[in-house]
Structure 1
Amino acid sequence: MARRRTSPLDEIASLPWHVGVTLGIIAFVFVRSGGGGLMAPLAWVFLGGCWLAAAVSFLRGCCKGTPPA
């Protein structure tokens, strides 16, 4: 049976939603502090992607009937 390749956003979406929010903030701060002004757009992409995955995780939890933590 072949392995299913998953994207990093799928992996983040499988985690609890608050982990995705935290990872987005950490990635944003890390890229902004390490890359300077040139990497600023990439920091926003990381933040938005992680928060989008967190939103998916939150909605999956709501649909399953699991109360949000």
Structure 2
Amino acid sequence: MDSEQVLMMCDDMALKPGVLALDMQRGKVGEVMDHWGAHIQLRPKGGGREWDAHPDEVRPLGDDIADGEA
């Protein structure tokens, strides 16, 4: 297994449903709802319409950042 595969596995685990994440392309924070095909489905924290984001453009938020948005 090369380093790229390891990073992909870590990203997949970090972006599991329920995690708050930043969609860097849109500049929006959302809760990971699901993985659908080659996309991650996000929903605004507190509810709203889901959107699809490319995994390369989504970063999980740390606990300290996520807590600050509560």
User: Same fold by TM-score, threshold 0.5 exceeded?
Assistant: no
User: What's the TM-score, normalizing by structure 2?
Assistant: 0.28
Larger radius of gyration: 1
Greater relative CO, 1 or 2 (CA 8 Å, sep 6+): 1
User: What's the TM-score, normalizing by structure 1?
Assistant: 0.29
Give the structure with the higher percent strand: 2
Give the structure with the higher percent helix: 1
